[in-house]
Structure 1
């Protein structure tokens, strides 16, 4: 009907749409011209509004995801407390026994009457005093500034269903105390822990965040928990062996002058033998 060609191009720019119509060889009727000027403009406006709605939805979803993750890793103000001791009124000197249990081993230590730490399990030996004292000091001075309330069915989330370690210590005349250590928090600044948990883990439980130094203290190789006695005894024997040859060599010069009279005795006997021969 029309002799000519109509080309329509869509160009997206700035979240909206610009419609370009190129008409060759014909003059558009008024109705068709009005369609291009109003209808296409309305379509462009709808596309622009759709982009605005889509951007709004994305921002809302992003904010919701951030809020959920932040809430899960950072307890509310009602759950946060100021730093407080893990075990109030416990000092290192009052601890007289420690038992450390992990998934692969069990170690026990006791102080003797001289205050020296000794390993009692898995062997009887003098303990490495620095290693045991470091662990006892963490127990006595450890603090926590955050407490979470969780359900017992969430223990695996905090690594407390198969704990990193369970530490039990005792004081004279008092009930044993226990700290159960789980996994790290999301930024590895603390370990999740249970303090004196009930025998049956059910219902709501209080989880504390404790220093990551506990991991260093409880994951030492077994050889670092005892003193290397053989290595410490060998230097003490060396001086005793070295003094024996010295004493023997010092006595030899003293005996040498004592033998000189026996050497002179033949000379003294020779005149007597000559005197006996003169009467003949």
Structure 2
């Protein structure tokens, strides 16, 4: 009698195990695939290749270009042979650190997703009017990045990269680093090089002993 119970127990256990495996696989198939988060470069661009750029915001329009530097005699081996100059709205030497921060963002900009968006919904992403538009020029190319508002958790800005002038199809809305907002949302004075104040000359008046 005990010998007959053993096969029944084994059969019952096999049925339970088979049912568990079946429902586990069924549950896996019913789950939606995970979203891909591979970041891709937006522009085939190097920071050193940028020769001029323009920033247009709701507050101001700024224009910059690289100006060749005069190389002192005997220092022909200098790597840096140009400097950034602001040409609009004022003509002055640009702040190198501020410019470098923005251009590095442009050259290394990535996005992990592209959202197909009807043209009529541009305003929902803050792209009409945009927060800012950056136009960067190299010797043979011009790249434009249009920046909108932050996403829901303020980690990214919605953006359009090299958009066509009169689109007839859905837009490819990207998500780019929120650091673009930090690079652009600054007063005009931040873009100008701070001039060092001349040191006061020592007084020629003799000291009284």
Q: What's the TM-score, normalizing by structure 2?
A: 0.72
Partners in 2 of 1:142 and 1:208 — Cα distance?
11
Contact kept in structure 2, 1:151 and 1:202, CA below 8 Å = no
Give the whole-Å Cα distance in 1 for the aligned partners of 2:102 and 2:88: 17
Matched residue SS, 1:82: coil
Contact 1:180/1:193 (<8 A) preserved: yes
Report the CA distance between 1:200 and its aligned residue.
Answer: 1.3
How far is the alpha carbon of 1:233 from its aligned partner?
4.2
- The match for 1:84 among 15, 40, 57 is 40
CA contact (8 A) 1:81 1:147 kept: no
Check if 1:222 corresponds to 2:188. yes
**Higher normalized helix content (fraction of residues):** 1
State the distance in 2 between where 1:213 and 1:176 align: 22
Q: Secondary structure at the match of 1:245?
A: coil
Among 107, 115, 122, the alignment partner of 2:62 is 107
Distance 1:124 1:202 in 2: 39
Residue deviations 1:39-72 (CA, integer Å, cap 9, x gap): xxxxxxxxxxxxxxxxxxxxxxxxxxxxxxxxxx
The structure that has the greater radius of gyration is: 1
User: Which structure has more RCO (C-alpha within 8 Å, separation ≥ 6)?
Assistant: 2
Q: CA deviation at 1:81?
A: 5.5
Of 91, 94, 99, the residue aligned with 1:124 is 91
- Alignment CA distance shift 1:86-1:215 (3 Å): same
Q: Pick from 177, 192, 198: which aligns with 1:234? A: 198
Count of equivalent residues: 162
Residue 203 of structure 1, CA deviation: 2.2
- Aligned residue in 2 for 1:95: 50
Structure 2 counterpart SS, 1:224: helix
User: SS in structure 2 opposite 1:215?
Assistant: helix
* Pairing 1:176–2:131 present: no
Which runs of 5 or more structure 1 residues have no equivalent in the other structure?
1-75, 250-280
Moved over 4 A (4+): none
Shift of 1:228: 2.2
- Compute the TM-score of the two structures, normalised by the length of structure 1: 0.55
Q: Secondary structure at the match of 1:208?
A: strand
Q: Secondary structure at the match of 2:48?
A: helix
Shift of 1:202: 3.4
Gaps of at least 5 residues in structure 2 are 1-33, 70-81
Secondary structure of the residue aligned to 1:149 is strand
Cα separation, 2, equivalents of 1:86 and 1:156: 22
